[in-house]
Amino acid sequence: MTGSCQDPKLPLDVPTPVQPGTEIDLGRLTEALRETDTGLEPPFRLHQYPRGFSWLTYRVTDGRGRRCVLRTPPRGVHIARAHDPAREHRILSGLKPVYPLVPRALACRTDANPLGTPFLLMEQVNGAILRANPDTAPDAASMRTIGHSLVANLVRLHGLDLRVTDLADLGYPDGFVLRQVRGWQGRYAAARTENTPDSADIAAWLEDNLPASPAPTLIHNDYKHDNLVLAPEPPHELRAVLDWEMATRGDPLMDLGSSLAYWVTADDPPAMRELQHSPTYLPGNPTRAEVVEQYAAQSGRAVDDIVFYFVFGNLKLAAILQQLYRRWADGLTREARYERLHTEVATCLQTARQAMQLGRIDSLYTV
């Protein structure tokens, strides 16, 4: 299926001027890049991709007009095992020979360097990124095609043979599911503020209902629309998958469950639609149940325990949002978009409880 003649060309994802409080000294940047073997030449110009909540991400343009992407950890945030540019550099480098839809890693520094912070430098992949509330959206036919392509690519990722890469020892798949449940519950508890609810009952339910996991595979761990680069022209083929910092080996259905937590649809109630971290509510998108059906058909994996994985995905998303909200509460950021994240945390936890009670992942707020 291709886009219709009315299907618009999507705008390229372009950066903006660097936001106050996230500036980088161009002199230090020049010194840091001079120490790499990328061949980039000063003078450098810097713009910022401001939409993400985690890394600070910039576009670097060198004196000859060549462009690449610079990622650095957020300032004042120290979360164990998060924001590790060396790990992401290793994953990108290891995947590129067997999975070309990743940016090429160019350089990485984690030691003392002129920039004063660890950083990852990678190629820029030109294209469109679909986020919530896009100014220009594909028509319903293309939106459905994009949704099916997203699921098919997730199946592809879960089918990669890491034994032929340098990533065969990535992560610790034994005991992965229980460790993830306890880990994300612990992160939520550590970041919890007085205005956010407890999640201990959800974590306890998950521990009481641990499924028998399929064989471990590569998992992206943050697979959603705004981590995908699409061709601007219909039918908007996938050009790259971004943001590999949490990738590991583990239960592939944990990856699917995490994606489903972002998959808010048009018939979900307002409290869920307010999350809008992805454009999955737009006309044409598959439902969560249809996503699961396609994944099962194409992967051959049983999905009988999908409620467990959906509940986990919502606990994990609640913990991620709560960590971000805690940054605002502690005064580490003053961006207005962080201020309301605590309401989204409550919605994630309520959605998890509805799925637990009803035993399904769709129609959670209807009889």
What is the domain-level CATH number for residue 236? 3.90.1200.10
**What is the rounded average pLDDT for all residues in the chain?**
92
Domain identity same for 259 and 176: yes
Domain identity same for 184 and 244: yes
pTM exceeds 0.95 for this model: no
Nearest by Cα to 243 from 38, 23, 135, 87 = 87
State how far the Cα of 246 lies from the Cα of 183, in Å rounded to an integer. Answer: 13
Contact 207, 180 (CB under 8 A): no
Domain identity same for 110 and 242: no
Q: What is the CATH number of the domain that holds 111?
A: 3.30.200.20
* Mean pLDDT of the 140-151 span: 96
Domain identity same for 176 and 293: yes
Range of the domain at 237: 140-358
Domain contains 110 = yes
Bridge partners (DSSP) of residue 49 are 57
Domain identity same for 173 and 280: yes
Domain contains 2 = no
For 67-93, what is each residue's pLDDT tens digit?
A: 999 999 886 555 445 578 999 999 999
pLDDT for the residue numbered 268: 84
pLDDT for the residue numbered 53: 65
For 247-281, what is each residue's pLDDT tens digit?
A: 999 999 999 999 999 999 888 878 777 776 789 99
Domain contains 20 = no
Q: Look at the chain and report how many structural domains it folds into.
A: 2
Q: One-letter amino acid identity for 22?
A: T
Residue 335: band (very low, low, confident or very high) from pLDDT cuts 50, 70, 90: confident
* Mean pLDDT of the 113-135 span: 92
Domain identity same for 54 and 184: no
Furthest CA-CA distance within the chain: 63
Q: Residue 130 burial by CB count (10 A; 0-12/13-18/19+): exposed, middle or buried? A: buried
Angstrom CA distances, 4 to 1, 143, 145, 149, 168, stand at 9, 11, 11, 17, 42
Domain identity same for 96 and 194: no
Domain identity same for 66 and 161: no
pLDDT at residue 246 greater than cutoff 90: yes
pLDDT for the residue numbered 82: 59
State how far the Cα of 196 lies from the Cα of 318, in Å rounded to an integer. Answer: 10
Domain contains 3 = no
Indicate the residue among 123, 156, 173 that finishes a domain.
123
